[in-house]
């Protein structure tokens, strides 16, 4: 019987099966940020076990609130910073070098096919785009990960999504994943790995695959997973060219992680995306999704482009193409947060930042920012935001505020008109 | 091992998420105790007031499907813990929340629909009270002069975590 990618990763990393169905896995990467890690550090210190299992496998970043906004967030940053220095963690990213974790760490080449990855952050599922098993965990799992380099999971059942057809102009990975979540609901993939397959995924960039996998958790999924292919190899090549003689050799190695043709799935769901339209959320759950045509005309007070879902260069380019030579509605506050310093710099070089600024956007430093209302871009009661982020929970971007999730293209078109707008008219 | 049981708080809705349990703006607190006043602050349910006595006194929460969905924040189990709530019973749980509960030595117990309805039949009782035996996997609910006994399933690993007092203590000696 064949195996899925997740099953192959589990089989190669399992160090213990304390009970049937429970697997303790060896971890390749443990990622840390300043919100969920400090309490793990404090507990390790209180236990007299302030140690790390492998300094080279731990990656840390200050990203949720940065630069710090007050004494409390400065203290969280300080705890993480001092811990990273104390343990000689080389891959620690502080102010000036920091960015949104799920954009920054892939960009540094830290994630490879076949890896096991955890972080105290639910959107860790993003990294499955590389053919890795990447799961968000709580602080206690993170703490044990830091100390022992292991984490326990239930048996990895996978749902295979066959995405076929071709995306129409103005329709992107974000629209696909919103549609998928709408189809299976916010708990449709609980305890399951969401394996994204088909010609639509094959033709996607790594950035788009990350957008797809990023929102797996919004359907309850443990990890998103895409099959490693030449797109994966090309993306990673600057980091792996010393390990492999040729790209073909890397590809041959990486594709060993691909699911077997006769792998067994918990469910197989076929979706033809050809007639899919740009999608927008309403309400307070990410599965409350309608087409932009139905949502058009809904007033918004703010437009936010950024985050681990859609703050990458590809996203900025798409939005800039729509914003070029135009200005945003006077009733709207536009906020752009490039997800990493590299993205920011490249956007500057390409003239993208100028387009956003000329259109009337405020450009912030790379940070999780408005997405979870922890630092900048917080909404007032009764306000709404068109956002490229991943969560529209009540109060998410500020108490009493409403978030409409959508693609960067739809966000840009919405910024111009001040109401939810079909981006296709600007393409 | 913690004690499990006491006055019940019924939250009659599915998909109660981590932002409703503890809003993100409080994630800047660096001790669990500091989270205490903010329990369920953003949860909007008819008749529910997070500042009410029934919320303050609760030791067990009974809710519907997909409880704890959303963020990975362990602040959600912690805000329950510092308020004396050590068990949540629901139709189903989001994976990370469920694991976080057991990792802290607390219990997230899934009930099939019929048994869950039995518990919810006590939702109108001001004195609803649940006793749980996490070793025998049995419990009793009392309220309004009625009493019902029930049994539940706990996976062996979850049982081991509850007995050990959490994942750090379990893993430390073993790996």
Each residue's pLDDT tens digit, A179-219: 999 999 999 999 999 999 999 999 999 999 999 999 999 99
For the segment A278-291, the average pLDDT, to the nearest whole number, is 98
Query: Number of folded domains in chain B?
Result: 1
Residue B137's contacts (CB-CB under 8 Å, 6 or more residues apart) are B151, B152, B153, B154
Confidence of residue B3 (pLDDT cuts 50, 70, 90): confident
Q: What is the ipTM of this complex?
A: 0.96
Side by side, the strands of the sheet bearing A333-337 are A361-363, A333-337, A302-306, A384-387, A402-405
Instruction: Note the Cα A203 to chain centre separation in Å.
Output: 19
Determine, for residues B24 and A374 on separate chains, whether the beta-carbon distance falls below 8 Å: yes
**Spatial distance between the Cα atoms of B31 and B75, rounded to a whole number of angstroms:** 10
For the segment A334-340, the average pLDDT, to the nearest whole number, is 98
Could you list the residue range(s) of the whole structural domain that residue B137 is in? 5-174
Q: Tell me the CATH number for domain A280-426.
A: 3.30.499.10
Domain range list for chain A: 5-270, 280-426
Give A413 to chain B, closest Cα distance, Å.
28
Give A324 to chain B, closest Cα distance, Å.
35
Give me the percent of chain B exceeding a pLDDT of 90. Answer: 96
For the segment A10-16, the average pLDDT, to the nearest whole number, is 98
Enumerate the residues of chain A whose CB falls inside 8 A of the CB of residue B93: 190
CATH of the domain at B37: 3.20.19.10
**Spatial distance between the Cα atoms of B155 and A155, rounded to a whole number of angstroms:** 13
Enumerate the residues of chain A whose CB falls inside 8 A of the CB of residue B32: 39
Q: Quick one: pLDDT at residue B2?
A: 73
Residues 161-200 of A with CB under 8 A from B: 186-187, 190-191
Give B5 to chain A, closest Cα distance, Å.
23
For the segment A124-142, the average pLDDT, to the nearest whole number, is 98
Q: What are phi and psi of B37, to 5 degrees?
A: -70, -15
Q: Quick check: A127 and A111 in contact, CB under 8 A? A: yes
Q: Which CATH number fits domain A5-270: 3.90.1150.10, 3.30.499.10, 3.30.2010.30, 1.25.40.10?
A: 3.30.499.10
For the segment A100-119, the average pLDDT, to the nearest whole number, is 98
pTM for this structure? 0.97
Enumerate the residues of chain A whose CB falls inside 8 A of the CB of residue B175: 15-16, 24, 144, 148, 150
| Residue A411: closest CA among A350, A346, A321 | A321
Domains A5-270 and A280-426 share a fold: yes
Beta bridge partners of A405: A387
pLDDT tens digits, residue range B60-83? 999 999 999 999 999 999 999 999
Enumerate the residues of chain B whose CB falls inside 8 A of the CB of residue A22: 155-157
**A130-to-A112, A144, A247 alpha-carbon distances in Å:** 6, 24, 15
């Amino acid at each position: 019987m064949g195996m899925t990618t997740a099953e192959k990763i589990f089989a190669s990393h399992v160090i213990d099966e304390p009970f049937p169905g429970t697997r303790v896995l060896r971890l390749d990467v443990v990622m840390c940020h300043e919100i969920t890690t400090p309490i793990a550090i404090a507990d390790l210190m209180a236990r007299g076990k302030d140690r790390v299992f492998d300094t080279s496998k731990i990656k840390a970043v200050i990203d949720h609130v940065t630069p710090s906004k007050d004494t409390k967030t400065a203290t969280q940053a300080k705890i993480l910073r001092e811990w990273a220095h104390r343990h000689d963690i080389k891959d620690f990213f502080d102010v000036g070098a920091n960015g949104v974790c799920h954009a920054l760490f892939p960009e540094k080449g830290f994630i490879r096919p076949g890896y096991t990855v955890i972080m105290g952050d639910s959107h860790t599922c993003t990294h499955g785009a590389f053919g890795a098993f990447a799961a968000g965990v709580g602080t206690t799992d993170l703490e044990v990960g830091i100390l022992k380099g292991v984490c326990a999971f239930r048996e990895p059942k996978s749902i295979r999504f066959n995405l076929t057809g071709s995306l129409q102009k103005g329709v992107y990975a974000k629209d696909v994943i919103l549609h998928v979540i709408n189809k299976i609901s916010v708990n449709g993939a609980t305890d399951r790995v969401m394996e994204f397959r088909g010609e639509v995924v094959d033709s996607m960039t790594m950035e788009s695959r990350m957008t797809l996998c990023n929102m797996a958790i919004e359907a309850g999924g443990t990890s998103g997973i895409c099959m490693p292919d030449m797109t994966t190899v090309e993306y990673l090549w600057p980091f792996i060219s010393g390990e492999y003689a040729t790209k073909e050799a890397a590809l041959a190695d990486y594709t060993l992680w691909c699911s077997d043709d006769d792998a067994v799935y918990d469910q197989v769901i076929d979706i033809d995306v050809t007639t899919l339209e740009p999608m927008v959320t309403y309400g307070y759950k990410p599965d409350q999704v309608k087409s932009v045509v139905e949502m058009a005309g809904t007033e918004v007070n703010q437009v936010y482009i950024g985050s681990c879902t859609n703050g990458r260069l590809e996203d900025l380019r798409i939005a800039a193409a729509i914003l070029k030579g135009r200005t945003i509605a006077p009733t709207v506050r536009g906020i752009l947060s490039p997800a990493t310093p590299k993205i920011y710099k490249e956007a500057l070089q390409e003239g993208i930042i100028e387009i956003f600024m000329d259109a009337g956007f405020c450009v912030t430093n790379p940070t999780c920012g408005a997405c979870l209302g922890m630092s900048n871009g917080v909404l007032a009661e009764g306000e709404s935001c068109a956002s490229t982020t991943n969560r529209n929970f009540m109060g998410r971007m500020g108490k009493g505020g409403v978030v409409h999730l959508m693609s960067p293209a739809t966000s840009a078109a919405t910024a111009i008109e001040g109401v939810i707008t079909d981006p296709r008219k600007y393409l | 091992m913690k004690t499990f049981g006491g006055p019940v708080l019924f939250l009659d809705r599915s998909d109660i998420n981590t932002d409703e349990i503890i809003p993100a703006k409080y994630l800047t607190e660096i001790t669990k105790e500091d989270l205490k006043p903010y329990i369920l602050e953003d949860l909007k349910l008819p008749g529910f007031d997070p500042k009410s006595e029934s919320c303050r006194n609760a030791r067990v929460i009974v809710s519907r499907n997909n409880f704890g969905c959303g963020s990975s924040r362990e602040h959600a189990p912690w805000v329950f813990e510092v308020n004396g709530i050590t068990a949540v019973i629901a139709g189903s749980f989001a994976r990370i929340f469920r694991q976080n509960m057991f990792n802290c030595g607390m219990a997230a117990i899934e009930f099939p629909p019929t048994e869950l309805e039995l518990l919810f039949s006590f939702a109108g009782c001001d004195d609803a009270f649940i006793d749980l035996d996490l070793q025998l996997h049995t419990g009793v609910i009392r309220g309004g002069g009625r009493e019902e006994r029930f049994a539940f399933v706990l996976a062996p690993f979850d049982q081991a975590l509850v007995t050990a007092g959490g994942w750090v203590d379990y893993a430390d000696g073993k790996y």
